[in-house]
Structure 1
Amino acid sequence: MTIRSFIFAGVALAALAAPAAAEEAADAADAAFADDGAIVVTARRRAENVQDVPLAISVVDGATLDAKGVFNISRLTQLQPSLQFFSTNPRNTFINIRGIGAPFGLTNDGFEQGVGVYVDQVYYNRIASATLDFVDVEQIEVLRGPQGTLYGKNTTAGAINITTRAPSFEFEGRTEVSIGNFNFKQAKASVSGPITDKLAARISVSATDRRGTIYNVATDTWINSQDNIGIRGALLWKPTDTFRVTFSGDWNLQDPICCGQIYARLGTTQRVASRQYAALTALFPGYKVPSTNAFDRLTDLDADIAARNELGGLSIRAEWDVGPGSLTSVSAWRYWDWGPKNDRDFTGLPVYTKVNNPTKQDQWTQELRYAFETGPIDAVVGGFLFYQKIRTSGVQESGPAASAWLLNPSSALSRNPAVLNGVIAENDIRLDNLSLATFAKLNWKATDRLTVSPGIRLNYDKKDGSYDSVVTGNASDGTRQIVSNSPTAPYYNDPWIAAQRGLQASQYFEPNFSAWNLSFDLNLSYEISDDVLGYATYARSFKTGGINLNGVPNLANGLPALEVAQIKPEKVDHFELGLKSQFWDRRATLNLAAYWTEIRDFQASVISNISGSSTLRGYLANADKVRVRGVEADFSVRPSERINAYLSGAFTDHQFVKFVDAPCPPELAGGPSGTPIGAPSTPGANSPANCDVSGQWLPGISRWSFSWGAEGNLPATLLGKQGEVYLGYEASYRSTFSSNASRSIYTDIRGYSLHNFRFGFRDEALDIFGWVRNAFDQNYYESLAVTPGNTGLISAQLGDPRTFGGTISYRF
């Protein structure tokens, strides 16, 4: 029996063994509410009522996550209109808040994202290491807007603060089992209690398994499945009332048959007609894509695909009440082991047989801070150390279809499969990343109602990297040779090697980056009444600079263009006004926020031809300026214990204010260089090297997004148990957004809405319910992407179809 099967079986038995009797009925939804309706958060590194915090914060408690089937960050987006999540696999994952946080469409070890993810106060530097299923989560806070003073350098867009359930000195536990269509199975269990009167423990496990939603006719398998397991354990040692230490450890494994992007549509580019998709596939008699309708959910990807994502770590958090405050130390080590296999030609043809970049990461963090209160002042001061080591050993290998697919049909070499067959690039990518910081945040209660809150953070970053790609291929005499850009290299003029060099050539360089940066903010908050708080914030924040570790363009002499190896830090100016209010005896809450964010040196994807080099190469660079501004509203109402409802919405206006050397969309790319520039979507027309996208949309952002829902319940008796029957409904909507680094007529994703329903019975211990998600079976794209070579093929990542099932959980 596998570990996963053991967990499923054990949790199922525990759930079925739930006692037949329960005591008084209680509403599980009340868990997040104190008697006065308060929700407690730690957004400012201390516990306080969310309505007293002058920040835009969305809070979801563990009971809500479980009830609504939100078991990872991806599903959290359906509850948070300002949160966007895009993923083609765990490593190629991007999280944005208010539309910013990560460049779209290019993964690079040498840069970092602008949304900080924290689990139990431990920073997760790589988003891929945060795609795990939630295990025993107590609460999730989404902090919108720059959080650089307390949360660090890479929180220019915001932070996601996840808190798991702490060990308890009273024995307690919980089990949950879910089953559904597509062979969905999920099991969760946790148990906590005292070991001695000073030591308590908690252990939690979670396992999720689901068949894929796309059928691969080439391999007779269902792909894009789910196959996750997670284990978390914690010990709480409390020798005195003023000192406590929490030891935590976790291990998580995702090992699905994933992740394949499939045929979505064709778009005409400026490549000559003989080098576009229709003409290229015609070179292979009998080849036909299984379906040109993506929502038939068929593909014929012929290369192996996998997305093994293993991660885990250990942490020690010590808290000591000293003097007028509390001293906190958080020490942590985390690792991430990424083992992918990809089909990067997105067809059933052996163009590329391998495109795999396995990565191993270790990170160490140490935070020390002191929070204190004296008179009208409370403050947090501290320091932070971060070190990260990343090692990526990649391979890319072309197959027997590569010559016809990738070389100019006018060349006789394109008709010889041996020319590009077996060209292999072996990549060794290394990064050592050091960051040091000191910070302070002060809250001065100037009057009974007015609080002035300045903050400052000084940060030092140093990155040392290396990129070593060794490309080999067969020369025309059959010998194995290095494919080099150097004119003095052996076989440089061999026609086969020259053709291979146009595909990819060996490259080596050692980029580095170091810089000091200062972040600061000023927040003014005023209690208009006991239940109404107004606030204003200005923040100057930054996202650290980086280095390009996916290769860079070459100069005319064949050497790498080191002038583009560095990426400058983003510089952020942020203004925000907000109002937080409760009324109707605190049964209703309405929070509003309006913001204006400008980013200079925005880190973005570009494609450039440097100094006459014949090779176009994608890399990261800095756009001059972007702007994102908008208005958000969060409303919730609970007129009685029998009904509650919520509505959240966001309007986001976004644009590249100035970006003159952006990558061109596919309809303006692929043709020869020269003037005049041809009309879009004209085969063989001249293409610009870069495009000016100033004034255009940023990728991935909807102008309008909403989430809403309600739940009602009535007293009921089931099998002699007194409880309540309930009906829940949740929905979300987002308007049209661009899914390409530069907006294209082929990659806009139309707006869509998703609707989920729940119906069940619960008492204070037992909860049994059925659920349906995407109830109206909405066909929608999560992302659309331009495939390599600009052949006109657009690939898609599909959202889940309708899913349904049932869940039983028991608390004791």
Structure 2
Amino acid sequence: MSLNSFAFALLASTSTVAFAQDAPVVTAKESPAQQVPGAQGRDEEDVQRSSAASDIIVTARRRQEQVQDVPIPISVVGVKELDSTGSFNVSRLAQLQPTLQFYSTNPRNSSVNVRGLGAPLGLTNDGIDQGVGVYIDQVYFSRVAVATLDFLDVQQVETLRGPQGTLYGKNTVAGAISITSKAPSFNFEGRAEVSAGSLAFKQAKASVSGPLGETVAARFGVATTSRRGTVYNVRTGNYVNEQDNIGFRGAILWRASDTLDLTLSADYNRQDPECCAQIYIKYGPTQRAANRQYPALTAAFPATTQTSGTYRVPSTNPFDRLTDLDADLNARNTLGGVSLRGELEVGSGTLTSVTAWRFWDWLPANDRDFTGLRVTTLSQNPTRQDQFTQELRYAGEGNGFDYVVGAFAFYQDIHTTGTQRQGPDASRWLINPSNALSNDPTVLDGLTAANDIRLKNFSGALFGKLNWDVTDQITLSPGVRVNYDDKVGSYVSIVRDSAGNLVPATGGTARQVEQRTALGPQSFQNEAYRAWNVSYDFTASYKPSRDVLVYATYAHTFKSGGLNLNGVPVVNGVAQTQFAQVDPEKVDHFEIGVKSQFWDRKATLNVTGFWTSIKDYQALVNDGQNTTLRGYLANADEVRVRGIEADFSVRPSERISLYVNGAYTDHEYVRFTNAPCPPERSGGSTVGNGLPGVPGQPSPAVCDISGQWLPGISKWAFSFGGEVNQPVNIFGKDGEIYFGADGSYRSKFSSNASRSIYTDIEGYGLANYRLGYRTDDGLNVFAWVRNATDSEYFDVLATTPGNTGLISGNVGDPRTYGVTVGLSF
């Protein structure tokens, strides 16, 4: 029995026991201590929401405040909404929030963006920082792979939009996702939930908390998810792109004195699916010679999965969800760590210390020729990453003002050992057919690149934020951050032939020239980026009445410069080390918003307008001329993102609640004159401006994409839904029957750094429904269906190496359905 199966069985038995006993009632007076100053004396539901449906409590400014009183655009999802909508990770959460985007081809190659900004869409590059910070219990997570994990024993998720950094943690230019786990309780309590559905979906979650003594309380949680893959591999007979997750979290709270709380937390999370296949989407002609493009290349190979003819993919309709990839697939992703948080009441405020160590082990295997041919037989970049963070922060208040001052230190050590090996079909696929060596499979068979990639990354900062109440209605809030970054990185790629002989960077035999063209050796070591930067922001807010808040913000901030740790372009055997570093992004951000409640606070309407201008935008581009698909960084001169957001919710009675959120986002490269060209304008043998998508035409060396779309951003995006319920009494138990619906829509967006006619993703909508019964004593049973209309859509489209015209991608989930049973006690 696998670890995942064992955990599921264990949790199922735990749930059965839980259902058989009476659940004690937890009152506010008996509630557990919370994780932020001033939270003691409120239970988790009280902290999440007060008696008014829209009075949501957040800690965005490191103190408890109602979200409507905070002059920051914030989306908040509590435990009830997370559970009822099936939002058990960031990808699912993005369907509820129009301005949150999540893209992933595997856990490493994932990006989380807010308003389209944060991380370049494409292959992950460890040498740059994330633009959207992910925090769990005030600990910063440097790698976005954490966003692919299941939420574990979560109380609330806050998504802050716009630049952050003068209040806490790492500097982030686009926003932050702050996840708060449930705190240890001094009353015995617990919850358990099991789900089963189509595609052999199984999920179980459980947590238990209680006192270990008068001053010590503990909490333990576990979650596991498994699901059959959504793509069938006809070559292996397996379903791939499956889910296989398990996570544990434990925390101990020691109330050392009336003024000091210490919380020690530890967690371990593991994913081990057969994943992640990017399958055939379509063929889009490039300017490469016709005999070196996908149709002619595949016609040169015999059939692999059919009985006769030449090679062809199992289906040219991606929504048949078939592939024939022949290389191993794996996405083993292990994260964990330990943190110690101390909160000491001193004077008029609270001193908080957060110390943490995190690790990430990544063990992948990919098929990087994206076909069932033996072109690339091994492609992997296993990595080990360790990070240490220390934050010290004091939140105090005086007569007519409050403030936060703090210091943050971050250290990260990364070691990646990558391998790419070519197979017996590589010569015919990669070498020009006019060259006789293309008919010799031994030229490239067994050719192996061994990559050694290292990074040592330190960041330190001092920050502060003041909120000065000029009058009872007007508050002025300046903030400042002084930041130092020190990054030292190396990239060494050694290439050997099948006999173990080194392939030289220049010169050599005709065979070695072709080998070098396929996998080019390169090296740069101890490349260093060091810089000081100052960020600042200023917010003015005006509260003309209890239920209206008007605010305006200007922020000048930056995203740290970085190092290209995926390799750089190679010209005539020489690594172009001028691309080894990228400049920091310089961000100017303007925002104006109104938060309002009306109809006796039964309705809430928040509207925000924003304008963000970034100079030296860090764009991740692909060097499609090479056999290896290299994602390297380049600075675009300037980009602009501007738009308007509106969030509306209404609860006319306890029986009905509705919401609709929308965003209009206008975005473009204001100036990017030396960008890599899209595939339809790439691959030509000479430099010039030929007809796009016509084989044999000349290609420009670079393209001017000024005025074009940024990748990953829809102009229009919406989420909407609601729930209705009806009280009932069944078998003597008071409860309610409820029906809920949630939907989302996004318009067309680009999936390539340089917009291509082949990689635009058409707009799509998704609809999810649930029907259930819940009781006053914590039982909840409901049936659910996701993507109820079985909408066909793409998550990501991508170009592939060599300008062959092959476009690969990830298809979105089909319709799924199931049943969930949960109990809180």
- TM-score between both structures, scaled by the size of structure 1: 0.96
What is the CA–CA distance in structure 2 between the aligned matches of 1:54 and 1:662, rounded to whole Å? 38
Contact 2:364 2:380 in 1 (8 A): yes
Q: How does 1:14-93 map to 2 (within 5 A)?
A: 14-17=14-17, 18-19=19-20, 32-37=48-53, 38-93=55-110
| Residue from 467, 482, 489 that aligns with 1:458 | 482
Contact 1:25 1:722 in 2 (8 A): no
What is the CA–CA distance in structure 2 between the aligned matches of 1:692 and 1:485, rounded to whole Å? 31
Tell me which residue corresponds to 2:653.
Answer: 640
Tell me which residue corresponds to 2:441.
Answer: 417
Contact 1:426 1:470 in 2 (8 A): yes
Q: How does 1:654-673 map to 2 (within 5 A)?
A: 654-673=667-686
Tell me which residue corresponds to 2:617.
Answer: 602
CA deviations 1:593-612 (Å, max 9, x no partner) are: 000000000001245699xx
| Residue from 270, 274, 280 that aligns with 2:297 | 280
Aligned residue identity for 1:459: N
Q: How does 1:499-514 map to 2 (within 5 A)?
A: 499-510=514-525, 511-514=527-530
Tell me which residue corresponds to 2:33.
Answer: none
What is the CA–CA distance in structure 2 between the aligned matches of 1:375 and 1:768, rounded to whole Å? 51
Distance 1:616 1:796, change over 3 A: closer
Alignment partner of 1:393 is 2:417 = yes
Q: How does 1:696-711 map to 2 (within 5 A)?
A: 696-711=708-723
Distance 1:616 1:234, change over 3 A: closer
1:103 CA displacement: 1.4
Q: Match of 1:339, SS? A: strand
Decide which moves more: 795-804 or 147-156. 147-156
1:684 CA displacement: 0.4
1:209 CA displacement: 0.6
CA deviations 1:276-306 (Å, max 9, x no partner) are: 1000000002222100000000000000000
Q: How does 1:125-524 map to 2 (within 5 A)?
A: 125-286=142-303, 287-474=311-498, 480-486=500-506, 492-510=507-525, 511-524=527-540
| Residue from 808, 814, 821 that aligns with 1:795 | 808
1:228 CA displacement: 0.1
Distance 1:601 1:794, change over 3 A: same
Alignment partner of 1:95 is 2:112 = yes
Contact 2:543 2:549 in 1 (8 A): yes
Identify unmatched segments of 5+ residues in structure 1. Answer: 487-491
1:617 CA displacement: 6.0
Tell me which residue corresponds to 1:722.
Answer: 734
Decide which moves more: 291-300 or 151-160. 151-160
Tell me which residue corresponds to 2:590.
Answer: 575
Contact 1:553 1:609 in 2 (8 A): no
CA deviations 1:252-271 (Å, max 9, x no partner) are: 00000100010111111101
CA deviations 1:417-440 (Å, max 9, x no partner) are: 111111100000000000110001
Alignment partner of 1:532 is 2:548 = yes
Q: Match of 1:191, SS? A: strand
CA deviations 1:322-365 (Å, max 9, x no partner) are: 00110000000000000000001100000000110000000000
Contact 2:4 2:244 in 1 (8 A): no
Q: Match of 2:163, SS? A: coil
Q: Match of 1:430, SS? A: strand
1:710 CA displacement: 0.7
- Count of residue pairs the alignment pairs up: 798
Distance 1:20 1:562, change over 3 A: closer
1:4 CA displacement: 2.3
Distance 1:573 1:620, change over 3 A: same
Aligned residue identity for 2:11: V
What is the CA–CA distance in structure 2 between the aligned matches of 1:680 and 1:135, rounded to whole Å? 49
Aligned residue identity for 1:68: T
Contact 2:26 2:187 in 1 (8 A): no
Contact 1:607 1:690 in 2 (8 A): no
Contact 1:193 1:202 in 2 (8 A): yes
Aligned residue identity for 2:63: R
1:59 CA displacement: 0.2
Identity %: 60
1:24 CA displacement: 10
1:493 CA displacement: 2.6
Alignment partner of 1:9 is 2:6 = no
1:29 CA displacement: 9.1
Decide which moves more: 97-106 or 427-436. 97-106
1:774 CA displacement: 0.3
Q: How does 1:550-629 map to 2 (within 5 A)?
A: 550-554=566-570, 556=572, 558-606=573-621, 618-629=631-642
Tell me which residue corresponds to 1:773.
Answer: 786
Distance 1:720 1:10, change over 3 A: farther
Q: Match of 1:76, SS? A: helix
Q: Match of 1:427, SS? A: strand
1:503 CA displacement: 1.3
What is the CA–CA distance in structure 2 between the aligned matches of 1:504 and 1:767, rounded to whole Å? 56
Contact 2:233 2:324 in 1 (8 A): yes
Aligned residue identity for 1:496: R
1:131 CA displacement: 2.1
Contact 2:551 2:592 in 1 (8 A): yes
What is the CA–CA distance in structure 2 between the aligned matches of 1:552 and 1:8, rounded to whole Å? 45
Contact 1:25 1:723 in 2 (8 A): no
Contact 1:61 1:140 in 2 (8 A): yes
Contact 1:546 1:568 in 2 (8 A): yes
1:560 CA displacement: 2.4
What is the CA–CA distance in structure 2 between the aligned matches of 1:533 and 1:803, rounded to whole Å? 41
Tell me which residue corresponds to 2:753.
Answer: 741
1:20 CA displacement: 7.6
What is the CA–CA distance in structure 2 between the aligned matches of 1:124 and 1:358, rounded to whole Å? 19
Contact 1:423 1:473 in 2 (8 A): yes
1:30 CA displacement: 8.7
CA deviations 1:609-666 (Å, max 9, x no partner) are: 99xx999965201100000000000000011111101000000000000001111111
What is the CA–CA distance in structure 1 between the aligned matches of 2:380 and 2:539, rounded to whole Å? 46
Contact 1:553 1:616 in 2 (8 A): no
Q: Match of 1:604, SS? A: strand
Aligned residue identity for 1:724: E
Q: Match of 2:600, SS? A: coil
Q: Match of 1:481, SS? A: coil
1:698 CA displacement: 0.2
Identify unmatched segments of 5+ residues in structure 2. Answer: 28-43, 304-310
Q: Match of 1:639, SS? A: strand
What is the CA–CA distance in structure 1 between the aligned matches of 2:468 and 2:618, rounded to whole Å? 36
Contact 2:566 2:630 in 1 (8 A): no
What is the CA–CA distance in structure 2 between the aligned matches of 1:530 and 1:517, rounded to whole Å? 39
Contact 2:430 2:627 in 1 (8 A): no
1:480 CA displacement: 3.8
Alignment partner of 1:752 is 2:764 = yes
Alignment partner of 1:544 is 2:560 = yes
1:32 CA displacement: 3.6
Decide which moves more: 732-741 or 613-622. 613-622
What is the CA–CA distance in structure 2 between the aligned matches of 1:609 and 1:234, rounded to whole Å? 48
What is the CA–CA distance in structure 1 between the aligned matches of 2:771 and 2:736, rounded to whole Å? 11
